[in-house]
Structure 1
Amino acid sequence: MSRDTTRRDVVKKITIVVGGAVMLIALPSQWTKPVVRSIVAPAHAALSVAAPTTTLGPT
């Protein structure tokens, strides 16, 4: 290591190299279209109603 290269810089570079290698291994070689036919909201989200807001005049 030279004096200009800090331990932090070395760790950053190693992280980038290892991360790139992991991405190359983890990604499929051929892109496939996702199989999502519909998205359904959970029942509690579909039935939730916002509370009414009221403003009161000066008292």
Structure 2
Amino acid sequence: MTTADLPGAHWSDTFILEVPHGGLDAERAARLALGRIPGWARLLMRLRNLLVAPFGLKAAPDETLA
């Protein structure tokens, strides 16, 4: 995307990063960065599921929190 594509955009909050592994595409990078939930976040999600269950809200299955 170029500046001409978004003429009113301000680019002051952008950054560029060189990736040392040339074979790393955007999907693989996203999976590496977001693929596993940290233990503390998994614990908070389980707590959330317990707290909302009495109100009839659906909880995410535990296997989705792996």
TM over 0.5: no
Q: Which structure would you say has the larger Rg?
A: 1
Could you say which structure has the greater relative contact order, defined with CA pairs below 8 angstroms and 6 or more residues apart?
2
Please give the TM-score of this superposition, normalised by the length of structure 1.
0.31
